[in-house]
Amino acid sequence: MRLYGALGLLLLACSAPGPDTESENGPLHPVVGKFWEVARNPNLGAYDNGDAQEFTDFTIWRGADGSWQLWSAIRNTTIGGASRLFYRWEAPRLPTAYWSEGGIAMVADTTVGETAGGLDAPHVQRVGDVWNMVYGEGEEICRATSMDGKNFQRVLQPSGMSAIFTEGPGMGTRDPMLFVAPNEYRIYDTAGEGADYVRTSLDLVTWSPPAIVARGGAAGVAPSAAENPFVVQPRAGGDYFLFRTQRYGVDAQTTVYRSPNPFDFGVDNDQYLIGALPIAAPEIVRDSDGRWFIATLSPDLRGVQMAELHWRP
């Protein structure tokens, strides 16, 4: 098992242990523990490209049978087109090293308008008895659903295509994240010159026009300045946190923002910036015991690593 050292939030002095989310002693900060690896570069059979393959965006959730599921986009495969597909892993609990491989989970379907080899950035949330996955296909955001949390079917639009929206032609709309709020659904994504967007819906079918929730500031303005937006509210009624990635690999960087407003994490300002972490493409989940975990890409981009996450005042 590969282990990586504990991380404190950079730019902050918050290394002292303390209460987790139950505390009312002040604003929270994320503190990351030691990483262990949960997945490594798989053998893709006919599409395998050896060490050239890399993990990109991924998602982790719990299925109907209680097992934990991991789907990741793998790029630089031999599938053709944009070279990406989804691969799956499974584990009985989150703190497990090297989850069991489950094979190729999904490939792009050009007959419903998806870019060949373009699948990327899946994210899954359970809504009632239905698991909803949002994902990118190169220029647009799509959705699929499952009744068991393992097997997904695309939700096609009246046009027969899978895309539900895009931020515009050539904008590179990607990296969707589905946030389930008490009275609405929100999809956060990135597009254009380094901005994070949000759209809202009451039914997961009709979506509002986009609004920019984060752009610029210390993270910069560039196509890679606002990737993989992930929003979490660790304390009910409390602040929201946005994790926004700029760099991948050994020089990884994700900036972190804390805001009382899920529709404003700082547009061309650093009003809500609280620091940065040397990680990329984080996914944050909570187990049935109430423990928080954060998963990120491994530094060599050939795996996924996980650590416990604590919210400290």
> What's the length of the chain?
313
> Does residue 83 fall inside a structural domain?
yes
Residue 260 inside a domain? The answer is yes
- Cα separation, 298 vs 36, in Å, equals 9
What integer pLDDT is reported at residue 228 of this predicted model?
Answer: 97
Query: What does the pLDDT read at residue 8?
Result: 54
Q: What residues of the chain score a pLDDT lower than 70?
A: 1-24
- Render pLDDT for 36-93 as a digit per residue (tens, 0 to 9): 999 999 999 999 999 999 999 999 999 999 999 999 999 999 999 999 999 999 999 9
Does the residue 265 lie in any domain?
yes
Are the beta carbons of 275 and 291 closer than 8 angstroms?
A: no
In this prediction, residue 278 carries a pLDDT of 98
Is there a domain that residue 303 lies in?
A: no
Residue 86: closest CA among 109, 112, 61, 104: 104
pLDDT in tens, 249-278: 999 999 999 999 999 999 999 999 999 999
Question: What confidence score (pLDDT) does residue 7 get?
Answer: 61
Q: What are phi and psi of 238, to 5 degrees?
A: -95, -165
Distance of alpha carbon 207 from alpha carbon 157, whole angstroms: 13
CA–chain centroid gap for 83, Å, is: 20
Give how far Cα 146 sits from Cα of 105, 143, 168, 192, 288, Å: 13, 11, 28, 31, 21
- Supply the CATH number for residue 185's domain: 2.115.10.20
The owner of tokens 């929100």 is 186
Range of the domain at 215: 3-15+27-297
Task: With respect to residue 311, please indicate whether it lies within any of the assigned structural domains.
Answer: no
pLDDT at 24: 60
pLDDT of residue 18: 40
The total domain count for the chain is: 1
256 close to 270: Cβ distance less than 8 angstroms? no
Output the pLDDT for position 50.
Answer: 96
CA distance 217 to 159: 40
Residue 313, in any domain of the structure: no
Task: Return the closest-CA partner of residue 265 out of 241, 230, 245, 284.
Answer: 241
Percent of the chain scoring above 70 in pLDDT: 92
| Tokens representing residue 202 in the block | 């009451």
Give a yes or no: residue 125 inside a domain: yes
State residue 68's pLDDT score. Answer: 98
Residue 302 lies in a domain: no
Distance CA 82, CA 183 (A): 37
- pLDDT given at position 13: 31
